[in-house]
A and B are shown apart, each in its own frame.
Chain A
C-alpha cells in the first residue's frame, strides 16, 4: 500500500485573549501548504489541548498567544506533554512574543517560534524543517 504522510497540526489558542484571526489565517496558510490542520478554537485549557493532541494524533501543536503569558504557558504545556508521553510532538508558538524571550522559549524545548511579523513562508518552512 502506498503510504501517505501528512503533517497534522493542532492550532489552539490557550487562555483568555479573544483574537483568533491570526490563528485562522495561519491555519489556512498551512492547509495551502498541504498540511492537515485541526482548529480547536479560542479559550482552550491546557488539559483540552493535551487531550485533543492525543486523540487527533498530531505531529505539531501550534499555540497562538497574544496575552503575554507565552513563557508560563509554554513551560507548563511542555511539562504536561512529557508527563503524558507526548514528548515527540513538536511545540511551536506564535503571536506577540518579544525578541528577548525567544532564547528562553528555545531553552524550554519549544521547537520553533514565530513572533508577529514572521512570513507565512517562514512558518511553513519552519514546520516542514522539523520533519526532515
Chain B
C-alpha cells in the first residue's frame, strides 16, 4: 500500500480516501537534526522505551534520493534492525524522491495509512536536515530536534529557522565536550522566544503554551532516552489536556488539503499545457530567441480560460 503511494499509483489515491476516516488517532513525533546527529540510533532507543509501555510504534525514515541517478541508499533502518521481528513495530524507509524540505511527498500519505492501521505512535525521521527543512512541522504533533555538541557557537541557536519549531531539544552524544554549553545556549534561546510568542498571541495562550524541553542523551547506550520518551508522552498529555491536539490536527488537515490542492492542480494543468500546440510553439520561439522564457510562460498562463474569466472579473 505504501509502495503504491510512493509510486503515485492512482489506485493508492482511492484507497487513501477509504482509509482516511480511520486515521486521526496516532500521536506523530517528528525527529529532525543534522546528518550524523544520531537520529536513527535515538529512534531505535525510543522504540525500546515505547515498547516497554506496550505502545505500538511505527517509524517512517526518510533518506535522500540521489539527484544524479534517482537511486537511493536507505540506511536508517540499519540502526533499528533489532526491532525487525517485533510485530508491534513497523519500520518503513522512504526515499525523498526529489522533494526539498526533508520529507518525501508520500510521507504524509504513509502516515495516514499507519495511523489507520492502529499504530499509536508514529515517528517520522527526516533526512539529515540543516536550517531550512521544516516540512516536518506540517506533519508532526511534536517535534524533537537532535543537536550535537561542538557544532558552532551560541549564535547558531538564536538564528531563525528550524530551531524555532522544536518542542523537545535533544543534546545527543552528551558525553562529548561542550554538551553543557549547548544545553545552556538552547535554554537561553527558549527563554528568549517565550515572551515574544505570548505577546503575539495576546490571548490566554500563555498558560497553555508548552515550554520546550532540553534533554541530554547518549543514544548509543540509552542514557536519557527513558526521560526523552516520557517527555514526548507528557507533551502529548499536555496537548490533550488543553485541547491543543485537536487544534493541531485540524491545522495539519488544513495544510494537507492545501498541499493536495496545489499538487493536483499543478499536475492537471501541466499535463494539459505540456502537450498543447501553444506550448510547442512557445518552446520553438524560445529556442530561436524570438521570445524570452519569462514572457512565454506569462503568455501561456494568461491564455488559459480559467484565468481569463478571472481577469475579466477584476
Contact = CB atoms under 8 A, between A and B. Distances in A.
Nearest to B97: A4
Contacts of B74: 36-39, 56
A55 B90 contact: yes
A48 B95 CA distance: 21
Given A40-B78, A41-B78, A28 B85 contact: no
B66 A39 contact: no
B85 A48 contact: yes
A34 B69 contact: yes
A2 B12 CA distance: 12
Interface stretch (B3-11, B213-221, B222-230): B3-11
Given A44-B81, A48-B85, A39 B8 contact: no
Interface residues of B, number: 30
Contact of B9 (A3, A34, A41): A3
Given A36-B71, A36-B95, A57-B3, A1 B78 contact: no
Contacts of A33: 69, 71
Contacts of B73: 27-28, 31, 37, 39
Interface in B56-71: 65-66, 68-71
- Majority-rule SS of B interface residues: mixed
Contacts of B97: 4
B115 to A, nearest CB: 16
Given A38-B74, A57-B3, A31 B84 contact: no
Interface in A13-53: 27-28, 30-41, 44-45, 47-48, 51-52
A37 B13 CA distance: 25
B198 to A, nearest CB: 43
Interface in B1-41: 2-3, 6-10, 13
B253 to A, nearest CB: 21
A125 interface: no
A4 B65 CA distance: 13
A5 interface: yes
Nearest to B3: A57
Contact of A6 (B7, B10, B78, B91): B7
Interface string B69-101: 111111101100100110000111101010000
Contacts of A35: 71
Nearest to B82: A48
A33 B66 CA distance: 10
Interface of B: 2-3, 6-10, 13, 65-66, 68-75, 77-78, 81, 84-85, 90-93, 95, 97, 267
Given A32-B66, A48-B84, 12 more contacts: A1-B10, A3-B8, A3-B9, A4-B8, A27-B73, A30-B71, A34-B70, A36-B74, A39-B74, A39-B78, A40-B77, A56-B92
10 contacts: A27-B73, A31-B66, A32-B71, A36-B72, A36-B95, A47-B84, A47-B85, A52-B81, A55-B91, A55-B92
